Amino acid sequence: MEFNSVIHGENLVKKYKKFELNIPTLDIPEGFATALIGENGAGKSTLMDILAGIRLDFKGHLQFFGEFDEKDREKNPEVKMRIGYEGTGMYYMPTWTMQQGKDVQALLFDTFDGKRYDALCEELAIPVDPKKKINTLSDGNQMKLKLAGVFSRETDFLILDEPASPLDPLMRDKLCDMMRKYLLEKEGKRSILFSTHNIADMEAVTDYAIIVENGKIVEQGFVEELKEKYIVVKGEGEDREKVKEILYTMNENPYGFEGICLAEQLDALAGMKVLTETPSLSQICVAVMKKNSKLFQQKEG
């Protein structure tokens, strides 16, 4: 599928002592919600920090909204104004109270809407106490507060780092609703990039998926396309040795096996008694991650 990219990156390299993020080209589709999926330490947060301008020591080029580069982001207030960022770790200063958090956001972002923020706080059931220190809130409530902050601004692109992790299932559903609504408000103009470990819960809102493994993009595409590209194969015990080679993953049980392979390799299975099914995004991700994970390969080797 053809698309315009809201962020285009080239040769993004960030080296750490034992880890290297290396992405030759990065394209985030405009008008869609993109999920960034990968193991812990795969480089998701680093990539998001680079895009949001939290880390500036990387090599490579970025283009935002088709017109600004990474230098414009630091010079032109408009760019950062149009990007909403929610990150893990120290997001607020450790000293801030809830009231201060709100005041500071109003100062930091011209489009911050205080009334909308209050309404969102209520909607998300955050126990609002202006004098309470943000640090003392529970993880879930802190996340809700951060989300209320980014969603009460007029932005065109959201970067959300693990928004679903600390939330309960009900809130995750609510988050998906909010993201959908956000995208619908300006159809085709707004985009979201979020990282997640809860692929199943967030599948409803995922249009495009980027799977990152060990600092590299190992698979990406629209969810519909990915579902056509991969296929679930179920079969009986006696065929398992023959199919093992083409399957990405294989779960065995006394009655038979179940695994995922590329749809184009299905011909190799001709003549066998197998059932095929459309995989879920979660199944695809696990399969691709397993295939590329360093950890898993070491175990198998």
Partner 1 sequence: MEGKRKNFNIHTHKYLWSDLYIGLELVAGPVLLILIAAWISRQDMPYMVVLVLEGILLLMVDLGLDSLIMGGILDRDQKFGLLQSSFYGKKLFLQGLLLDHVRRFLQYTLVFGATGMMIYPQMMSDFPDRGVGFFVGYMLGGILLLMATAEAMVLLLRRQETLMQIWMLLGFLSPLTSLPIIIHVFTFSFPDTRISPWVICIADAFLLGIILWISQKAHCYQYDWALGLIPRKETPEDRTWNMGVFIAFAFGLNFLMVPLMYLGYREGMDLSVFLVAQMFYPACGVCLAKLFSRSGGDLPRFAYRVVVEATCVLVFCCIYSIPALSLEKVFELEGATTGMLMYTVATAVVLVGSIAFLFSGVIGFTKAGRFRIRQAGLGCSKVWLSLGMIVLFFVLYFGRVAIITGIEAICTKDFTVLTDTFAGMFMGEHSKAIWFGVLLNLPLTFLMFFGEEYGWRYFLQPVLQKRFGMIRGVLLLGVIWGVWHVAADFLYYSDGSSGLAMCLQQLITCVSLGIFFGYAYLKTHNIWVPVMFHYLNNNLIMVIAQDASETVIQGAEVTFGMLPVSFLGAVVFMIFIFAPIYRKKEALESLVADLTPSEEWYEA
Nearest-approach distance from CB 216 to partner 1, in angstroms: 18
- Please report whether residue 52 would count as binding partner 1 according to CB under 8 A: yes
255-261 — which CB contacts under 8 Å span 24+ positions?
Answer: 258/232, 258/233, 258/234, 259/232, 259/233, 260/230, 260/231, 260/232, 260/233, 260/284, 260/287, 261/230, 261/231, 261/233
Of 11, 25, 108, 236, the one binding partner 1 (CB under 8 A) is 108
Binding window for partner 1 (CB under 8 A); candidates: 26-34, 101-109, 163-171, 289-297: 101-109
- Please report whether residue 163 would count as binding partner 1 according to CB under 8 A: no
- Please report whether residue 100 would count as binding partner 1 according to CB under 8 A: yes
Of 2, 131, 255, 267, the one binding partner 1 (CB under 8 A) is 131
- Please report whether residue 162 would count as binding partner 1 according to CB under 8 A: no
- Please report whether residue 144 would count as binding partner 1 according to CB under 8 A: no
| Comparison of 39 and 86: residue with beta carbon closer to partner 1 | 86
| Comparison of 97 and 265: residue with beta carbon closer to partner 1 | 97
Q: Are residues 19 and 215 in contact, defined by beta-carbon separation less than 8 angstroms?
A: yes
Nearest-approach distance from CB 97 to partner 1, in angstroms: 6
- Please report whether residue 270 would count as binding partner 1 according to CB under 8 A: no
Nearest-approach distance from CB 244 to partner 1, in angstroms: 38
- CA–CA gap between residue 250 and residue 257 (Å, rounded): 7
- Please report whether residue 15 would count as binding partner 1 according to CB under 8 A: yes
Binding window for partner 1 (CB under 8 A); candidates: 53-61, 162-170, 185-193, 267-275: 53-61
Give the binding site for partner 1 (CB under 8 A). 15, 17, 52-58, 74, 76-77, 79-81, 83-97, 100, 103-110, 131, 133, 135, 149
